[in-house]
Structure 1
């Protein structure tokens, strides 16, 4: 029997898995900070939430810290769900107290800052985002990129380029004190 290398349209079957749309993690964080106690902030729409999505991981981290409740409601179309965080009443005072002492204490950025401090002490050559995610126990390279940008914007680290290499300089170590 001779087999051709092309697909026979009559026998081909296509399947698209669940498609979930996520709010950008930075936008979710801004909206959550602005939210009043008890207010809901939507972070995803679709049939299922991925365990590796940066936005979903952020929502789960807040839940684990006791800052919010996680909820879902069926969409009006009945095909999927709206996923949202509901800010807890205790979260407002707890979040303000923690951020006043150190804005990244207990957050994934703190762990990444420790990893970056170790890297800076050994010469500062910044590894790939995949390696940073692995060392800081972040779910994806996108999560490492996002957290690194937060550390840069917060004035904790500086990333500088020399040719094709990137180096990290530690500017503040408040999280490790």
Structure 2
């Protein structure tokens, strides 16, 4: 039981930072919390030299669809969320529990149907991470799915009309 104290505390700090961000527009705290596992983990667990690290090249075409600022923002979100949830929390909890924990902040922050649906891609990211042990690959998949969502789904008339 003692093993779960640190990740549970850090997760609660994340929830607190998200609520502060939502209600007081104090946005710099959440990225710091998401990156805080760098203090606790062995950097070798990031597996930055795996065969999957080449997947970073997949972000290059995105630069033609979005401006550099948006692309770097989306990439930093994907990297920090995957570091926190896949690399750190999945070392303590199962993929299913981690996916639930991944979904809760999205629900708190956005509070719409799309927030609940984040659970399913999270399960996929967890499975990919379990099989590949590649932080980079999962972060790139997360980044690309965020880009696809922002370009195609969030701008869709069908979604916006509620059909």
Q: TM-score, normalised by structure 1?
A: 0.26
Quick check: which one's helix share is greater? 2
The structure number with the bigger radius of gyration is 1
Bigger relative contact order, structure 1 or 2 (CA pairs below 8 A, ≥6 apart): 2
Quick check: which one's strand share is greater? 1
Q: TM-score, normalised by structure 2?
A: 0.27
